[in-house]
Amino acid sequence: MGKVITLFNLLPRLHQALIGLLLLIIFAAFLIPSEDAEASRHTEKTAVSTQAPQTDIQLPLAFRTPDGPQSALSGNSAEARSSDNTTQETTNTKPAEPAKPELTEDSFTVRDGDTLAAIFNRAGFSAREVYDVTQLKQTGKIVKKLMPGDSITLIKDSDGKFAGLRYQLSKIDTLVVSRNEDKLHEYTVNKEVTHEEKFVTAEITSNFWNAGVKAGLTPAQIMELATIFGWDVDFALDIREGDSFALIYDEEYADGNFLQNGNILAAEFINQGERFTAVRYTDGQYYSEEGRSMRKAFLKSPVDFKYVSSNFNPRRLHPVTGQVKAHRGVDYVAAVGTPIKSAGAGRVIKSSYNKYNGNYVFIKHNDTYTTKYLHLNKRKVKQGDYVKQGQTIGTLGATGRVTGAHLHYEFIVNGVHRNPRTVKLPKADPIAKKERAAFTKLSETLMAKIESEKQVQYARERNAQ
Ligand SMILES: [Zn+2]
């Protein structure tokens, strides 16, 4: 009887112990998998390595009650789900493929005299299919202007039927035609264009052009920089060794690939110790950092610097025979045929020839200012013509009393000859009042950036020495 009792008493204790053991296992199940889940989270990408911890937790899983540890395993099941996903992707597409007709693509290069019909023919499509494509509004127009060398991608289904095409319209836009059931659809896909600001600075040691090239600027950017400062600096005659420039320009990327250079956003030019600045505003115009228009009534030089003999030559020999007497103009030595621009807008008051001046043009800009251009090879304007600033009025020559080809340029203020390179002219218009605050903010940001980038560059150069 007592034995029965002790056995009876023991039973709950055994039960207790079993429960205790079970709890311990459950507790362990709580800890171990969550640790593994934590660890595997970092290596989720390497799917194979997560397999090992999974086998480790098989043991506690075998002991778990249906509900208990599940929450503890949630981390793990999430991981299992994600690995399911990756397998799903590969397995999912496979059974799907036979359901839809398989598509193949081929690229065709447009040949000389090619039409869409000829290309479709090469691809094995019917005349009917060409016709349907040309009936599309946008595509119909574009395929009429296929350029030799262009590439067109044609898509074919498993029955050999036309299923679509892709045609690159530009570095950014692609025209897409796709067939859905029996209907054709057309649309364009645009790559996203992103912008990056690029900084460049250089000191001029031989000439402006070489300094620009050495700094990594393109010819177009060098000319743009000269144009921006062309009202303040005579790039043909006034550049000296030690002059320097710094600029920030915009670079455009499509899908991370370089697309093209954008605008110069801000620049600084130091010419013979004098500092000039330019900031591009939202109106597309350039203003000095204080907000004065870069455009002025007169260009500093009527000749683009790129035509003028390249290296510094501040004391040119005067090309007029035996002439040492007072010279009332500025001479630009360049090749015959170099275009000569009107320094400012105005009216042609003389376009003629005589034995001293050769072919010459006089332009009256207003009651105060007149400019004169002598020894031209050809004149391109007639008396009475109105000319715009920068308009070509003739070409450089060696007509009249000269020994060599050059332009003799005179600048007359109220009837008095003045040096166009040093004459003080009225200040340019300031930016509109309502734009002032926004411009100042932009200007300060960009000029501060130029300054800090310059410091970085100087430091780098010092370290390199
Ligand atoms: Zn002269």
Cα 421 to middle of ligand 1, angstroms: 14
Tell me if 347 is assigned to some domain: yes
Cα 242 to middle of ligand 1, angstroms: 28
Domain at 407, CATH number: 2.70.70.10
Taking ligand 1, which is a single-atom ion, which protein residues have CB atoms under 5 Å away?
A: 329, 331, 408
Q: From first to last of its 465 residues, what are the pLDDT tens digits of the chain? A: 444 444 445 545 556 555 555 555 555 554 444 444 333 333 333 333 333 333 333 333 333 334 433 333 333 433 334 433 333 333 343 444 445 568 999 999 999 988 999 999 999 999 999 999 999 999 998 888 888 999 999 999 998 999 999 999 988 899 999 998 889 999 999 999 999 999 999 999 989 999 999 999 999 999 999 999 999 999 998 999 999 999 999 999 988 889 999 999 999 999 999 999 999 999 999 999 999 999 999 999 999 988 886 555 444 445 444 444 457 888 899 999 999 999 999 999 999 999 999 999 999 999 999 999 999 999 999 999 999 999 999 999 999 999 889 999 999 999 999 988 888 888 888 999 999 999 999 999 999 999 999 999 989 888 887
Domain at 276, CATH number: 3.10.450.350
Cα 397 to middle of ligand 1, angstroms: 12
Are 171 and 205 found together in one domain? no
Cα 120 to middle of ligand 1, angstroms: 67
3-state secondary structure the chain: CHHHHHHHHHHHHHHHHHHHHHHHHHHHHHHHHHHHHHHHHHCCCCHHHHHHHHHHCHHHHHHCCCCHHHHHHHHHHHHHHHHHHHHHHHHHHHHHHHHCCCCEEEEEECCCCCCHHHHHHHHCCCHHHHHHHHCCHHHHHHHHHCCCCCEEEEEECCCCCEEEEEEECCCCEEEEEEEECCEEEEEEEECCEEEEEEEEEEECCCCHHHHHHHCCCCHHHHHHHHHHCCCCCCCCCCCCCCCEEEEEEEEEEECCEEEEEEEEEEEEEEECCEEEEEEECCCCCEECCCCEECCCCCCCCCCCHHHECCCCCCCCCCCCCCCCCCCCCEEECECCCCEEECCCCEEEEEEEEECCCEEEEEEECCCCEEEEEEEEEEECCCCCCEECCCCEEEEECCCCCCCCCCEEEEEEECCEEECCCCCCCCCCCECCHHHHHHHHHHHHHHHHHHHHHHHHHHHHHHHHC
> Rg for the chain (alpha carbons), in Å?
39
Cα 17 to middle of ligand 1, angstroms: 116
Cα 333 to middle of ligand 1, angstroms: 10
Cα 410 to middle of ligand 1, angstroms: 8
Cα 426 to middle of ligand 1, angstroms: 26
Are 228 and 207 found together in one domain? yes
Are 185 and 222 found together in one domain? no
Cα 377 to middle of ligand 1, angstroms: 15
Cα 276 to middle of ligand 1, angstroms: 28
Domains in the chain, number: 4
Cα 373 to middle of ligand 1, angstroms: 10
Cα 210 to middle of ligand 1, angstroms: 28
Q: Domain range for residue 350?
A: 305-418
Cα 407 to middle of ligand 1, angstroms: 7
Among 399, 418, 437, the domain boundary falls at 418
Tell me if 137 is assigned to some domain: yes
Cα 36 to middle of ligand 1, angstroms: 89
Cα 238 to middle of ligand 1, angstroms: 17
Tell me if 363 is assigned to some domain: yes
